[in-house]
């Protein structure tokens, strides 16, 4: 487990299954403890006992089993509330606090903003708390989620919403996929010095068995191939290399299709 200090809360990062991360958000000013996407209840329980805290709320970004499997057991153990997208309520186990996909709520002293980010699934939402983004399977370190339900247009629009957040925001995504993602990125963006440095840094991090997550939006904007189409120079280079005349969305779409078979 790893812990990160923010001004108003701590984030504890728990590795689960083969590459999932579960996050605990511990409010400094109240007893509120939010569990983001509990893949496995037992891992949350062990971490909470170590920290001597009790989950009060579960925040689900989307309905996939590796984000919600722990819900019911945690409700039984801690009587916690399940906060998730009202539009996706039938698919979220144990949901007790349905909320709007775009909205805000206050838990303890935590000011939580929700963002509607369909693409990976249609009901996918992200949570923003101050300078921390919990984006589930929408944006990854060096990548983005597969389009299981949404369209390319929806995912592109969702990624732009996230890209519009403050550059300094910490990106807490739900999987450790960064290194394989960056190998694809290097093939698509070979002359990017920031990307080459990130690959070197993150490779060392993984050799030490440390997480590459959280990253920052600034780093994602500079190195994530699915955000790079926001950069005009990248579009020009991409078009020249591929003999195309794509706009930003079309470059994103082309990259997402290529990644599926890469």
- Residue sitting closest to Zn ion (CB): 64
List, as one string, the DSSP characters of 5-36.
E-SSEEEEEEEETTTEEEEEEEESSSS-EEEE
Per the annotation, the verdict on 67 as an active-site residue is yes
Q: Which residue in 64, 175, 198, 259 binds Zn ion (CB under 5 A)? A: 64
Is-contact 77 96, C-beta < 8 A? no
Is-contact 179 203, C-beta < 8 A? yes
63 binds Zn ion (CB under 5 A): no
Cβ closest to Zn ion, residue 119 vs residue 214? 119
Q: How many CB atoms lie within 10 A of CB 168?
A: 9
Output the six-digit token pair for 74: 């945690």
Catalytic residue among 12, 57, 63, 64: 64
* Residue in the structure block whose two tokens are 């909470």: 48
Rounded CA-CA distance 133/158 in Å is 13
Per the annotation, the verdict on 57 as an active-site residue is no
Catalytic residue among 27, 43, 88, 137: 137
Catalytic residue among 69, 175, 189, 202: 175
176 binds Zn ion (CB under 5 A): no
Pick the piece of the chain touching Zn ion (CB under 5 A) from 11-19, 92-100, 133-141, 243-251. Answer: 133-141
Is-contact 42 72, C-beta < 8 A? no
Cβ closest to Zn ion, residue 148 vs residue 194? 148
Shortest Å distance, C-beta 137 to Zn ion: 4
137 binds Zn ion (CB under 5 A): yes
Per the annotation, the verdict on 175 as an active-site residue is yes
Pair type for strands 170-173 and 132-136: parallel
Q: Which residues bind Zn ion (CB under 5 A)?
A: 64, 137
Which amino acids are annotated catalytic?
A: 62, 64, 66-67, 120, 137, 175
């Amino acid at each position: 487990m790893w812990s990160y200090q923010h001004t108003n809360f701590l984030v504890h990062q728990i590795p689960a299954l083969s590459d999932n991360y579960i996050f605990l958000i511990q409010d400094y000013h109240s007893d509120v403890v939010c569990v983001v996407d509990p893949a496995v209840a037992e891992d949350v329980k062990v971490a909470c006992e170590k920290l001597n805290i009790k989950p009060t709320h579960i925040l689900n970004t989307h309905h996939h089993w590796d984000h919600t499997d722990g819900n019911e057991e945690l409700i039984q153990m801690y009587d916690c509330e399940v906060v998730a997208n009202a539009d996706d309520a039938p698919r979220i186990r144990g949901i007790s606090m349905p909320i709007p996909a775009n909205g805000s709520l206050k838990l303890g002293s935590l000011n939580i903003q929700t963002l509607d980010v369909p693409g990976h699934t249609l009901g996918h939402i992200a949570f923003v708390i101050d300078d921390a983004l919990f984006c589930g399977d929408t944006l990854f370190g060096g990548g983005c989620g597969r389009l299981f339900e949404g369209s390319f247009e929806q995912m592109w629009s969702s990624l732009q919403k996230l890209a519009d957040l403050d550059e300094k925001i910490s990106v807490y995504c739900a999987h450790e996929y960064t290194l394989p993602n960056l190998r694809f990125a290097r093939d698509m963006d070979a002359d990017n010095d920031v990307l080459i440095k990130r690959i070197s840094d993150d490779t060392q991090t993984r050799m030490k068995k440390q997480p590459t997550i959280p990253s920052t939006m600034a780093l994602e904007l500079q190195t994530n191939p699915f955000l790079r189409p926001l950069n005009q120079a990248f579009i020009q280079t991409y078009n020249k290399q591929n003999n195309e005349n794509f706009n930003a969305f079309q470059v994103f779409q082309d990259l997402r299709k290529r990644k599926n078979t890469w």
